[in-house]
Structure 1
């Protein structure tokens, strides 16, 4: 199987994380396993414990930090620190950026998560904060009922785009209008439009990929799963990508946690397959050469990946809150 190595690494990481974070929501295991697999790393139990203590000590005496860095996404923060070469420095930079962002945005787990992601790409926190606010203001103006505080993280990620704010806004709206005809009005479609604007994607390519998968008997989800499909649609020849998605989906269907009554849904499984295929392609030089053209930077692709990840986290948080 073309994606064998990353699939096996994903499952191995998931099983390690389940033993370490015993009471964590099962959705988080898969998200964190994706984070490690994307970096080609195997979770180190001792480093995870060290990062857990690091995060606890750095945030325990400040209410806002304690609440937003140690809530539902607590395990995700620990895993993101663990893949860093210098967790102490990364956390210090994250808290610094988060503090600056709170001058313009309401504090939240999503904003904290965005801050941690952003430290990998920039140190110009003032400029990023200012531009993120401009983008968020446009989002609110265009979609007042869809846009909420949690969308501040998307404006933050979009602020790294090399495109002007005006052009970015125009392209996002164009893609949104095209995608909503097929997938309806939702936060997921809004996030998909962000991905397409960042990567010079094509809404019709995403819709065609969705339809062709459906014709092969694989119904891809139209909620939090969509942003990942937006990236996958750019990875290569459509039929080749579909074959890879089906192959990985079949591999996952034989793994523990994807079988039986209490397993993840088929739509979630196919979304996981798309994330694994996406990571495997984007970590290969031949794919990078095809994608990273004069109009699509490496950062744009990376940020599009992060948007796909954030919408998955947001959806799993919503499901958990609804069940509590």
Structure 2
């Protein structure tokens, strides 16, 4: 393991522990997502500063704000990364006021506003929101039963690229159909197809690269997950880096994580651990892409958002299951 990869791994653990101190008694899945977001941003967090951002968020929003609740931790982390929590929150709320006019109110559109505040100004957010609404309508037309509020986040990122709405959705549909021949989790594959649609190259080439990474991991003795985990591997596939080098890095990070607290027999599953390894590999290779600067930024942040959405979905599912069990 080279020094850069080791530093990323160690920062991830430090960030995870800091987030756990700042947000006690919350989901381990969200702790991992937040730690990855911090690590990908190249920062090492401390609990006290995260708590201060959490306080700034509560001071600047009402108790019924969609920036609170399920995505509160994600919001506080983004405020911390900005280095200017109050100003970042102001920009986020301004973006949300714009976005909700086109995409409605929800925690997912609030999540989109958080990222949009970091990637464009209010004028850009307005243009992106109008285009995102058009993209979302096309998504819903292609997959009326699969498309939900979470897809508005990806529509927002797709809207920031130079490709027109129809081209993006046609490309996403082509990728989806090809992915479906190999994998089965429809909701996850829809998200994966949205990420791939933003990248250059043919649908066949992009999907084949995802499949090769999956197969190389299998050949290395690692059974990578085919559900929410696939989102991280798809985002990683966009890197121009050598496929074997990417897989070797995932395996090295996976070995490192296996020795860390929280990844033992009573911690994350091996598939979740591999997903975290893929996420951290993306952090290491995120600047090595074939995309233009604007598209690269959108796709990199889209990967982080997609993983956070996957984590939120896990939390919601776990909460629902627990509540149902308690009522019986």
Counterpart in the other structure of 2:162: 162
Task: Provide the secondary structure at the position in 2 that maps to 1:193.
Answer: helix
| Counterpart mapping for 1:244-323 below 5 A | 244-260=249-265, 262-283=266-287, 287=288, 291-293=289-291, 297-322=295-320, 323=322
Residues in 1 aligned to 2:94 and 2:292: alpha-carbon distance in whole angstroms: 33
In 1, Cα distance between equivalents of 2:73 and 2:216: 36
Q: Distance in 2 between matches of 1:293 and 1:128?
A: 19
* TM-score, length of structure 2 as denominator length: 0.90
Distance 1:307 1:40, change over 3 A: closer
Once the two structures are superposed, residues 211-234 of structure 1 have per-residue CA deviations (whole angstroms, 9 ceiling, x without a partner) of: 221232211111111121112223
Q: TM-score, normalised by structure 1?
A: 0.91
Task: Specify which of 187, 194, 212 is matched with residue 208 of structure 1.
Answer: 212
SS of match in other structure, 2:102:
coil
Shift of the alpha carbon at 1:295?
A: 9.2
Structure 2, unmatched stretches of 5+, are 324-328
Residue equivalent to 1:52: 54
- Aligned partners of 1:59, 1:147: CA distance in 2, in Å? 29
Give the total of aligned pairs.
Answer: 313
1:234 to 231, 235, 238: 238
Alpha carbons 1:36, 1:43 under 8 Å: kept: yes
Does the CA contact (< 8 Å) of 1:106 and 1:149 recur in 2?
A: no
* Unaligned residue ranges in structure 1 (runs of 5+): none
* Distance (Å, rounded) in 1 between the aligned partners of 2:235 and 2:319: 28
Asked whether the 8 Å contact 1:158–1:303 carries over to 2, the reply is: no
- For 1:320 and 1:192, the matched residues in 2 are separated by 23
Are 1:195 and 1:307, in contact at CA under 8 Å, matched by a contact in 2?
Answer: no
Q: Is the 8 A contact 2:27 2:315 kept in 1?
A: no
Q: Secondary structure at the match of 2:70?
A: coil
Q: CA deviation at 1:74?
A: 1.1
The 1:293/1:56 distance shift into structure 2, 3 A limit, reads closer
Retained in 2: the 8 A contact 1:14–1:30? yes
Q: Which runs of 4+ in 1 moved over 6 A?
A: none
Aligned equivalents of 2:278, 2:243: Cα separation in 1: 13
Q: Find the aligned partners of 1:259 and 1:18 in 2 and give their Cα distance.
A: 18
- Map of 1:1-324 to 2, 5 A cutoff? 1-2=1-2, 3-60=5-62, 63=64, 65=65, 68-123=66-121, 124=123, 125-200=125-200, 202-235=206-239, 236-260=241-265, 262-283=266-287, 287=288, 291-293=289-291, 297-322=295-320, 323-324=322-323
Contact 1:175 1:203 in 2 (8 A): yes
How much is the aligned-residue C-alpha RMSD, in angstroms? 1.8
Aligned equivalents of 1:220, 1:94: Cα separation in 2: 35
